[in-house]
Chain A
Amino acid sequence: GDSVTQMEGPVTLSEEAFLTINCTYTATGYPSLFWYVQYPGEGLQLLLKATKADDKGSNKGFEATYRKETTSFHLEKGSVQVSDSAVYFCALSDQYGGSQGNLIFGKGTKLSVKP
């Protein structure tokens, strides 16, 4: 079945450091890909998405590019802030074209940013 694999956390960075959180997926069709963020004590929020190969999703300084050849969707940010501390989830949907259907999540990566 479809699955998502994320790098193990926790990740601890200093403020203004560069962030990469790796995400790879396995899917039989043409999935859409998503990054969700969960701030402490809150529910998940959609951070960015990409619906087809070579699409780049971006939001709040975060970016991720849908790489079909490597089945990856790595999350990056050039300069993290303390307020970025959260758990980040990579997810895929088996629905084509950006619709979500049932989301399949990775196990989440906890990011802590120190001042």
Chain B
Amino acid sequence: DTAVSQTPKYLVTQMGNDKSIKCEQNLGHDTMYWYKQDSKKFLKIMFSYNNKELIINETVPNRFSPKSPDKAHLNLHINSLELGDSAVYFCASSRSNYEQYFGPGTRLTVT
């Protein structure tokens, strides 16, 4: 059983489009995260979210917004996509602040 899953695995789209990446965890965790990994493999936190608090990395453009329909899901919406948004996006989850489990990643290519 997949603990943290993401869809789609690959996403190719044009500049200016709006897209979403979905994340689901079946671990019963209460905290979920989104990370961005750039072409040089540098990994950076974008958001962390539990049912009480959303913490946003201040460097993330407001074109990016996380949406959580329930505790098991944290989707990432991106408006007006730009070339620089091309990256691999990883979702992760944890029980409170303990070990984070990562999804397999979504490779976003903006053309």
Stretch at the interface among B11-19, B70-78, B102-110: B102-110
Q: Which residues of A, 24-58, contact B by the 8 Å Cβ criterion?
A: 41-46, 49
- Which one of B33, B41, B92 has the greatest number of beta carbons of chain A within 10 Å? B41
The answer, yes or no, to whether B26 is at the interface (CB within 8 Å) is no
The answer, yes or no, to whether A73 is at the interface (CB within 8 Å) is no
How many pairs, one residue from A and one from B, have CB atoms within 8 Å of each other in the complex?
A: 50
Task: Select one of A42, A99, A105, A110 contacting B98, CB under 8 A.
Answer: A99
The answer, yes or no, to whether B43 is at the interface (CB within 8 Å) is yes
User: Residue on A with the closest CB to B41?
Assistant: A108
Q: Tally B residues with Cβ within 8 Å of A.
A: 22
Whether the Cβ atoms of A89 and B43 lie closer than 8 Å is: yes
- Which one of A98, A99, A101, A110 has the greatest number of beta carbons of chain B within 10 Å? A101
Residues of A in contact with B (beta carbons under 8 Å apart): 41-46, 49, 87, 89, 93, 95, 98-105, 107-108, 110
What are 8 contact pairs spanning A and B, CB under 8 A? A42-B105, A43-B102, A45-B102, A89-B43, A93-B97, A100-B94, A105-B42, A108-B41
Q: Which 4 pairs, one residue from A and one from B, show the smallest C-beta to C-beta distance? A: A99-B97, A43-B102, A108-B41, A44-B102
Residues of B in contact with A (beta carbons under 8 Å apart): 4, 33, 40-45, 48, 55, 90, 92, 94, 96-100, 102-105
